[in-house]
Amino acid sequence: MLEFITMFRVMGLVLMVTQGCLAANQKHVDEQCRFTRYSTLCVDTMTGLGSENQKPDILSALINKTILETQLPTSYFTKFTTDLHVDEAQHVNSITGYCEGLLSMSLKRLDQSLLALKNSRNKNKHDIQTWISAALTYQQACKDSADSHNFSNGDLMRQISQKMDYLSQLGSNTLALVNRIPSELTHFTKSRRLAEADRVFPEWLSAKDRKLLQVPAVKANAVVAKDGSGNYKTISEAINAASGGRFVIYVKAGVYKEKIRTNKNGITLVGDGKYSTIIVGSDSVNGGSSMPGSATFTVTGDGFIARDIGFQNTAGPQGEQALALYVASDHSVFYRCSIAGYQDTLYALSLRQFYRECDIYGTVDFIFGNAAAVFQSCTLALRRPSGYNVILASGRSDPGQNTGFSVQNCRIVPSSDFSPVKHSFESYLGRPWKQYSRAVVMESTIDNAIASRGWVEWPGEGGYSKSLYFAEYANVGPGAGTSGRVTWPGFHVMGRDEAAKFTVDRFIAGNFWLPSTGVTFISGLQ
């Protein structure tokens, strides 16, 4: 009898300890999930995880759950075309195919994030923030595509849209907790001009490649020439020949009428000048293409570099949305390039991008997307619109994303065709494509083609004025005055300390990865 009582007491004690540990684990989950936007989903995701001996790793669990839910079987999308008319089925296929590609890109970034989290969450914080921000961007892009089309069976696109909402909520919770990780990334405390002998190269760039980028002569892996004097006559053929690692393609002067899509890492294109070597396309939404499908050049492989080359879409203003360039390349660089179109010229979709001494032309939302992109010493040229001009349209859809557009030391001017009539149209620095849109213009010269209010609402979304972040700092020129700017809660005239957050160093961690393109660039403020 005494042995039975003793055993009963021990069992009771073990049960109490177990219950106490589980209660402590639940408290830990509840406390962490309070910092997320979708706390109930966060807690539900963690239900049953952890043990009496160990607190659950909430971040790893959330990423793993997001990966699991993103891994959709092929049958998930094929079911949407069942019982549809042939024409409608083809249209649905184009959307589901686009979404499949986006979810594949999302999975890639989630897998990278999970690995980086395991290796060193503190050291890799900026990478993890960037990659999960990109995963959210791809989910939103799929949702936008589904929401923008009407079919006889409205449930089809609604199911995709709701699935993307769910994935976005999972990703948002993960990102909210990643943003709370203490960072080991250090920044330069003052403005630093990186000169010839003081350039920072990424770890993946070999000494041979660094030497290549430091000298004017091009030592290419492949040469493209229309006249047959190179290895290839088309850029597409040269890119297809890339076998991995850094692959440099020298493209001789000429107009190359090609539609190029590449997902290869490490591609470098070097031309004979931004107006001498030009890649040209003319696809447009009005001509039957999808918005992303209209792009003349699409790159989704990482580490892409373009120098002295032009990207154009010649569909004209009647083409509506017509992309010249679509970029979803982490650590991508565009140096001395021209990017020309009208509406939606440059789709800077995602990840970390740097543009230096580029000429970018357009009318409506001609720099748009949800990348973390810095435009430095560029010319942003307004063309003659059919309605009004808008330069920046940031698609930041979650307050935790480390994305946005930073325009520094640039010239905002009318193009030659627009200059004589610039006061007959309204032109704006930007508008909020999504609720948490973020864009700053600093240390730049602004022509008086820009309306005194500076910024404009997205049609039907006046409420975004509280959640967006638009700001200016130390601009000059006849259009730079801020006294007449919008009075939205989300608009700011920044001080120096705030502006420093949007520099190459602070915003895209450029001093730790930005390869040399033979140019002196500014790390901080001027």
State the catalytic residues.
365
- With tokens 């179109």, the residue in question is 341
Helix axes 58-70, 39-46, angle to 10 degrees: 90
Cross-strand bridge partners of residue 213: none
Residue 201, strand partner residues: none
Supply the DSSP symbol for 350: S
Q: How buried is residue 306: exposed, middle or buried, by Cβ count under 10 Å (0-12/13-18/19+)? A: buried
The closest alpha carbon to 399, from 467, 458, 463, 350, belongs to 467
Burial 193-213 (b: 16+ CB within 10 A, else e): ebeeeebbbeeebeeebeebb
Cβ–Cβ under 8 Å, residues 56 and 49: yes
Q: How far apart are CA 277 and CA 254, in angstroms?
A: 5
Buried b (16+ CB within 10 A) or exposed e, 244-269: eebbbbbbbebebeebbebbbbbbbb
Alpha helices in 34-85 (DSSP H): 39-46, 58-70, 74-78
Q: Which residues contact 61 (CB under 8 A, 6 or more apart)?
A: 45, 46, 49
- Pick the closest to residue 413 from 440, 452, 444 (CA basis): 444
Structure tokens at 33: 């999930």
SS3 per-residue string spanning 331-346? CEEEECCEEECCECCE
Can you read off the two tokens belonging to residue 457?
A: 């609402």
For the chain, the distance separating the N- and C-terminal CA atoms, rounded to the nearest angstrom, is 85
CA-only gyration radius of the chain, Å: 25
306 three-class SS:
strand
Distance CA 93, CA 13 (A): 60
Helix (H) or strand (E) holding 362: strand 359-362
CB-based contact 506:192 (threshold 8 Å): no
Stated as kind and residue range, the H or E segment containing 13 is: helix 2-33
Nearest by Cα to 454 from 517, 391, 361, 368: 391
Residue 461 contacts by C-beta under 8 Å, 6 or more apart in sequence? 432, 435
